[in-house]
C-alpha cells in the first residue's frame, strides 16, 4: 500500500523519505533507527479480526511481544513515542450485559467509551477473538508504566474503524487470494464480484466509522503539539457515523450502484454464523461509541466527513 511512495518516490517526496524494510522483532537496525529519529510512530500489528482466533499466537506476539523493543528503545533513548492501539481494548460495553429492553441501555454511561474511565470487558479465555484486545491493552499498560516510572514521552491512539481508499486488501486483486479482510474490504470484494454481502450473526453489531483523512489530521495534531498530547490516550473516531453492520451493507450496496452504474443484486445480503465465517472461538463487541471530549479539549480536533460521503469517495 505504500509502494507508490517509495519505489521510486514521487518528485515532491524525493530526498524526504528513507525506506528501511525490517522485522521489528529481530533486526539489529531497529535501535539505531529509533536513535536517529525525533519521534517513533508504531503501527506494526496483526489487526484483522479473521486472524484473532485462527492465529492467536501470532496475534499476541505481534501486538505485545514484538512491540516491546520499540517501547524499550524509545524509553532508554528518551525518544517520543506515538503508539497505535485499538478501540477493541474496551471490549464489550456495560450495556451489553443488560436485558435488551432495559431502559438503562439508552443511558450514555453504559455504552459511550471514555479513555480514562470506561472499563475494559473481554469475553472468556476460550473465545480467542479477544487475544488481540488483551495484547493491545497490555502493551498500553506497559507504555503507560514506562511513562510513569522512566519518563517516556508517549501518546496512545485508539482508532475507531478508520476507513477509506487503500484500506486492507481485495482477495486475489491487491492481496492474497486466501484470507478474510476487514468489513469494508469484505463488502467491497462482494460488490465487485456481484456476490451477496455476508452478515455475521445478522449484522447486528454497531460500529462507528471515521474517514482516514480526518483521522490523519488528528495524528498530525498529536505530532505537532507534544505538550498537549504527551501522556494522553486519545479516542480517534466519529460518533456521528454509527451504523449496524447490516446498515453499512445496505448503504454500501446503494453507494456502489450509484458509482458503478450496475443494478443492485436481487438478494444483496445473506446471514452467516460467526463460527462459519470466522471459525471456532469468535466473539464480538456489541457497540463502540467514542467519547471525543478529551481529544477535542487537548487538540481541538473533531471529525468532519459523513459516512455516506466517505463511502462514496472510497468506492469510486
Mark out the alpha helices in the chain (DSSP H runs): 3-6, 29-36, 49-52, 56-63, 68-76, 131-150, 183-192, 212-224, 226-229, 245-260, 274-278, 293-299, 307-315
Strands 232-236 and 197-200: unpaired
Quick one: fold of 37-315? Rossmann fold (3.40.50)
Higher per-residue pLDDT: 4 or 61: 61
pLDDT at 199 over 80: yes
Say if residues 222 and 299 touch (Cβ distance below 8 Å). Answer: yes
pLDDT, position 244: 96
Nearest-angstrom CA–CA distance, 254 and 252: 5
Sorted by where each begins, the domain ranges of the chain are: 37-315
Nearest residue to 170 via CA among 181, 157, 161 = 181
- What average pLDDT does this structure show over 124-137? 95
What angle, rounded to 10 degrees, do the helices at 307-315 and 183-192 form? Answer: 50
pLDDT at 269 over 90: yes
State the first-to-last Cα distance of the chain, in angstroms, to the nearest integer. Answer: 18
Q: What HEC string does 204-239 produce?
A: CCEEECEEHHHHHHHHHHHHHCHHHHCCEEEEECCC
Nearest-angstrom CA–CA distance, 93 and 138: 19
- What average pLDDT does this structure show over 287-309? 96
pLDDT, position 177: 62
pLDDT at 18 over 90: no
Sign of the alpha-carbon dihedral angle for 128, 129, 133, 139: positive
- The alpha carbon of 250 is separated from its chain's Cα centroid by a whole number of angstroms, namely 22
pLDDT, position 179: 67
Catalytic residue list = 132
Q: What is the pLDDT of residues 50-92, one digit of tens each?
A: 889 889 999 999 999 999 999 999 999 999 999 999 999 999 9
- Confidence bin at 292 (pLDDT 50/70/90): very high
pLDDT, position 94: 93
Distances (CA, A) of 231 to 80, 116, 133, 154, 156: 10, 12, 21, 5, 8
Say if residues 229 and 298 touch (Cβ distance below 8 Å). Answer: yes
Q: What is the pLDDT of residues 216-241, one digit of tens each?
A: 999 999 999 999 999 999 999 999 99
Three-class SS state of 186:
helix
Three-class SS state of 270:
strand
Q: What is the pLDDT of residues 140-198, one digit of tens each?
A: 999 999 999 999 999 999 999 999 988 877 776 776 666 677 898 899 999 999 999 99
Nearest residue to 46 via CA among 38, 54, 37 = 54
Amino acid at each position: 500500500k505504500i509502494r507508490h511512495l517509495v519505489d521510486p518516490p514521487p518528485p515532491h517526496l524525493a530526498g524526504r523519505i528513507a525506506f528501511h524494510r525490517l522485522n521489528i522483532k529481530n533486526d539489529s537496525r531497529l535501535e539505531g533507527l529509533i536513535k536517529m529519529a525525533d519521534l517513533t510512530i508504531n503501527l506494526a500489528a496483526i489487526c484483522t479480526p479473521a486472524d484473532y482466533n485462527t492465529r492467536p499466537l501470532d496475534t499476541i506476539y505481534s501486538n505485545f511481544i514484538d512491540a516491546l523493543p520499540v517501547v524499550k528503545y524509545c524509553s532508554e533513548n528518551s525518544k517520543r513515542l506515538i503508539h497505535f492501539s485499538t478501540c477493541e481494548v474496551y471490549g464489550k460495553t456495560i450495556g451489553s450485559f443488560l436485558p435488551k429492553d432495559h431502559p438503562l441501555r439508552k443511558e450514555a454511561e453504559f455504552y459511550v467509551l471514555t479513555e480514562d474511565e470506561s472499563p475494559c470487558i473481554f469475553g472468556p479465555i476460550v473465545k480467542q477473538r479477544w487475544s488481540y484486545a488483551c495484547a493491545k491493552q497490555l502493551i498500553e499498560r506497559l507504555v503507560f508504566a514506562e511513562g510513569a516510572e522512566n519518563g517516556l514521552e508517549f501518546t496512545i491512539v485508539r482508532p475507531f474503524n478508520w476507513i477509506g481508499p487503500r484500506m486492507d486488501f481485495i482477495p486475489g486483486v491487491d492481496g492474497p487470494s486466501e484470507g478474510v479482510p476487514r468489513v469494508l474490504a469484505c463488502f467491497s470484494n462482494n460488490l465487485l464480484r456481484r456476490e451477496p454481502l455476508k452478515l455475521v450473526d445478522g449484522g447486528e453489531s454497531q460500529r462507528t466509522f471515521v474517514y482516514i483523512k480526518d483521522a490523519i489530521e488528528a495524528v498530525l495534531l498529536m505530532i505537532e503539539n507534544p505538550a498537549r498530547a504527551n501522556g494522553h490516550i486519545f479516542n480517534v473516531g466519529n460518533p456521528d457515523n454509527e451504523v449496524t453492520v447490516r446498515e453499512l451493507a445496505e448503504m454500501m450496496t446503494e453507494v456502489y450502484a450509484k458509482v458503478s452504474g450496475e443494478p443492485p443484486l436481487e438478494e444483496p445480503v445473506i446471514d452467516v454464523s460467526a463460527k462459519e465465517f470466522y471459525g471456532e472461538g469468535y466473539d464480538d463487541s456489541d457497540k463502540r461509541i467514542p467519547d471525543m471530549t478529551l481529544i477535542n479539549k487537548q487538540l481541538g480536533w473533531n471529525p468532519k466527513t459523513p459516512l455516506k460521503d466517505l463511502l462514496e469517495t472510497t468506492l469510486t
